[in-house]
Structure 1
Amino acid sequence: MTYDTGLESPSGVGSKQHRLFWFELLECARRGHRVVGTDAARVRSEDGLLVKDFGDGLRWHRCLRCDSWLPLRSAAQPEREFPPGREEVEIPLRGKPLRDRYVLRLIALDRLLHFLVLGVLSVGVLAFAHERRRLSGAFYRTMDLLQNGIGGPTGRSGHGLLGELSKAFAARSSTLWAVGLVLGAYAVLEGVEAVGLWLTRRWAEYLTFVATTVLLAPEIYELAEGRITPTKVLTLIINLAISVYLLFAKRLFGLRGGGKAEAAERERDTGWSALERVLPGPSR
């Protein structure tokens, strides 16, 4: 039987290859350690990769995700004679594939934010285009009253907030509908990216890379024209980082071996060979 222990802290004994950041430990802190053989009556020598029994009532169980060794008492009422064999054990996600899932889901959250903002803008523009004629008279009367109250200019002056809104009211209905539909389509695209990346689908990585790269040109152009704001600079940095990560780390378009190399790396980091490369820890 394989299950999460529910332990909060991913501490334990044992050796592990050095990583800059242990996403396995973060996952174990969230979900608990993944161990096997806690319901077995006896432990065989061939089970030593995952379970060690030193005969003192405690067994050391290896977490299949983070490689920590956890001391647990032997089962009072065993449900099976020996720990499960390899064919019965499902190795959880670990190594680079686990790291990639965290990064892709972080990008997915960014795309979800885009989806929400663009969706709201699209609905707002389309609603405005539909109700513009009815709202126009009341809008100008209200703005004139407000401007008069603070001693500002009245009417369609073309300056400030009143001027910008006047331009919106003066725009052709077909233009407003086109803008609203384009924003809606872009929102749908961002939503599709968010779902695909959250599920770590390969097609979503390509779609996100293409969509993000296409937008880099206008973003760079705006900054080159002197329209620099902290938000625009931050957006450019984020989109550049996403593009570089997807292209090189995810091996898109055949880069660094392409999909075959990506699949081989995933198999190497998540299969039994990944467990065998790390030396078992507890010994007496």
Structure 2
Amino acid sequence: MTEEDRDAPAPVPGTAGDERRLRYELLSCALHGHHLEGVTAERVRPGDALLVREDRDGLRWHRCLRCDAWVPVAPPRQPDRPHPPDRHEIALPLRGKALRDRYVLRLIALDRLLHFVVLGALAAGILIFADKRASLQAPFYRYMDLLQNGVGGTGGVSERGLLGEVAKAFAVRSSTLWLIGLVIAAYALLEGVEAVGLWRGRRWAEYLTLVATTVLLVPEVYELTSKVTVTKVLTLIINLAVVVYLLFAKRLFGVRGGGRAEAAERARDVSWEALERVPPGRTTD
């Protein structure tokens, strides 16, 4: 063992080595780097031991405020501050359940973003079709007649398949098409608002997503009574999982203590008291 290894802070059992608890912290640090404070400070005070320590050779060991790892950093050649920042100057990074929730909420946000893109494209297509239908109807039937006569079929458009569905769309009233397009556009906008709010971790977005997803469970279940497909089943399972997660894990509508319990749980993981409960290792004198 080198002298440098002896001077380094010793790992704390049950903290940095607890891969289960720190899985999300380690992932965040791998993606964004460690959260270190006081790297550019001129000197280290005794009261900064929770953040940074200096060994006998002058090498500084900075504690990551997210994953609790100790990172060796050489003292700065051109310090820009006299000492590491005080506690009130530091914005603590997310850890524990709060960090896990951010990853889950952003995963749901990506799902809502996909819905926004697909529904937005569908709404745009319907509205454009409703606006241009009069000019498209005659060429559509003319080309379909030419296509069917060219392959030895009879004239006209069959009521089956995609062409049949397009033919039915030409028979729908323009007001109905506009209404359908606007409703789908409004739903796409709702999904987009959910995606932005969930990505930013807003509480109101959690409520909005829970209510909207719960309402849509009814038609999804009804659709399964007529025809069961893999896509419908997967969609129902995903939306059920979202509802259960938001209701119980995020404690919405007063479930499991509600917002107060949620705030207390967050403060337990993201606070200086939480960092003090995981004391840093001691250096060797």
Q: Normalising by structure 2, what TM-score?
A: 0.88
- Secondary structure class of the residue paired with 2:228: coil
1:255 paired residue number: 255
Post-superposition, which runs of at least 4 consecutive aligned residues in structure 1 deviate over 6 A? none
The alpha-carbon deviation at position 148 of structure 1 amounts to 2.4
**Counterparts in 2 of 1:132 and 1:82: CA distance versus 1, 3 Å:** closer
1:109-154 Cα distance to aligned partner (Å, 9 max, x none): 1111111111111111111112212211110111122222333443
Aligned residue identity for 2:11: G
Unaligned runs of at least 5 residues, structure 1? 1-11
1:94 paired residue number: 95
The structure showing larger relative contact order (alpha-carbon pairs under 8 Å, at least 6 residues apart) is 2
The alpha-carbon deviation at position 177 of structure 1 amounts to 1.2
The alpha-carbon deviation at position 20 of structure 1 amounts to 5.1
Aligned residue identity for 1:126: L
- In the TM superposition, what are the counterparts of 1:1-284 in structure 2 within 5 Å? 14-15=11-12, 16=15, 18=18, 19=20, 22-225=23-226, 227-281=227-281, 283-284=283-284
1:7 paired residue number: none
- Secondary structure class of the residue paired with 1:38: coil
1:4 paired residue number: none
* Aligned mates of 2:231, 2:93 — CA distance in 1: 39
Q: Contact 1:13–1:68 at 8 Å: present in 2 too?
A: no
Aligned length: 272
The alpha-carbon deviation at position 78 of structure 1 amounts to 3.9
The alpha-carbon deviation at position 85 of structure 1 amounts to 2.2
* Aligned mates of 2:161, 2:155 — CA distance in 1: 12
1:190-212 Cα distance to aligned partner (Å, 9 max, x none): 11111111111111100001111
> What is the Cα-based RMSD across aligned positions, in Å?
1.9
**Counterparts in 2 of 1:153 and 1:23: CA distance versus 1, 3 Å:** farther
Identity of aligned pairs, percent?
66
- Secondary structure class of the residue paired with 1:196: helix
Q: Contact 2:250–2:262 at 8 Å: present in 1 too?
A: yes
Q: Contact 2:44–2:83 at 8 Å: present in 1 too?
A: yes
The alpha-carbon deviation at position 21 of structure 1 amounts to 5.7
* Aligned mates of 1:221, 1:77 — CA distance in 2: 68
Q: Contact 1:60–1:282 at 8 Å: present in 2 too?
A: no
Q: Normalising by structure 1, what TM-score?
A: 0.89
Q: Contact 2:22–2:67 at 8 Å: present in 1 too?
A: no
* Aligned mates of 2:42, 2:177 — CA distance in 1: 72
Aligned residue identity for 2:147: L
Unaligned runs of at least 5 residues, structure 2? 1-8
1:32-74 Cα distance to aligned partner (Å, 9 max, x none): 1111222334433322212122211212110011110011222
Q: Which moved more, 1:202-211 or 1:138-147?
A: 138-147
**Counterparts in 2 of 1:77 and 1:126: CA distance versus 1, 3 Å:** closer
